[in-house]
Amino acid sequence: MGLAIIGLCIPAVVYPFSIDHKDIGLLAYGETAKEERTANNIVKKNNKFNFFTVSFICFFIFAILHTAISGITQHLPGFDETLNYTAAVGATMLSAGMVGNILSKLVIGFISDRVGPVKATIIMIVTNIISIVILLIAPSSIALLIGSFLFGSVYSVGAVGFALLTKHFFGVENYSTVYPIISFATSFGSAFALALVGYIYDFTGSYVYAFLIAIGINFTNLILMYIVIKRYSLKKNSTVKKIAVNI
């Protein structure tokens, strides 16, 4: 499978193409060379993004930590076995988590349209905390299925939330620069956690510790979100003051 993925990716990587017409020396339809030079100067000026800021570093760590929680989902059948339920219940828990995965991605977009990406992301993080609590204290298989379904909300932030937050915090003009790095962070976090959860069980004999760590990560992420929000507010207020002074 790995070789198949490499084989399919290589043509896209080696084929020379450009999304931006300026990169291959062409003008947009109806555009003059003078307008093109002006546009190039504006783009070059706006593309200078500083990655070594508190906002970006906190956001990057947030991306890694949050997607690390998603590694628990694949271990739900194993968690089910430690509770002495049947394999059928464990398989259904995993299916419920995947259904929650799909629906939560739609829901976070809907909520974001209503109250903004920041509040939508916070709602999903809180939902994930609630789901973990349900899984830990579940008195029945029905409760385990409900907890698994809600746990699927963890995927919504990684797949949709970070894209929306990147545009919100760093601007549309920096999106193409910032989001690839954040996407790398989410991929790394999810791949790393899948093995980590298994090691936690191997060393402790229980999945409870993985769930407790996930709760701790969620609260840490809320703190990181708060820092990014505060830095964003300060930057926004500073920009408004500069505009007011220039006027």
Residue 210's pLDDT is what?
Answer: 94
Model pLDDT for residues 86-133, shown as the tens digit of each residue: 999 999 999 999 999 999 999 999 999 999 999 999 999 999 999 999
In the chain, what percentage of residues exceed pLDDT 90?
A: 64
- The CA distance from 169 to 178, in Å, is 10
Confidence of residue 38 (pLDDT cuts 50, 70, 90): low
> If you classify domain 59-246 with CATH, what class do you get?
mainly alpha
More confident residue, 49 or 143: 143
68: which residues sit within 8 A by CB, 6+ positions away? 189, 190, 192, 193, 196, 217
- Lowest mean pLDDT of 7-11, 21-25, 59-63, 105-109, name the range: 21-25
Instruction: Give the other-Cβ count within 10 Å of 233's Cβ.
Output: 10
The predicted structure's pLDDT at residue 47: 56
Residue 82: C-alpha distances to residues 47, 79, 212 (Å): 52, 5, 16
SS (H, E, C) 184-243: HHHHHHHHHHHHHHHHHHHHHCCCHHHHHHHHHHHHHHHHHHHHHHHHHHHHHHHHHHHH
Taking the model in full, what pTM does it have?
0.79
- Helix, strand, or coil here: 10? helix
d(CA 93, CA 101): 12
Residues 68/221, Cβ–Cβ less than 8 Å: no
pLDDT tens-digit series, residues 189-214 = 888 888 889 899 999 999 999 999 99
Interacting residues of 153 by C-beta distance below 8 A, sequence separation 6+ = 100, 104, 124, 127, 128, 131
The answer to whether residue 229 scores a pLDDT higher than 60 is: yes
Q: Average pLDDT of 65-77? A: 93
pLDDT of 162 above 90: yes
What is the rounded average pLDDT for all residues in the chain? Answer: 87
Can you give the pLDDT at residue 194?
Answer: 80
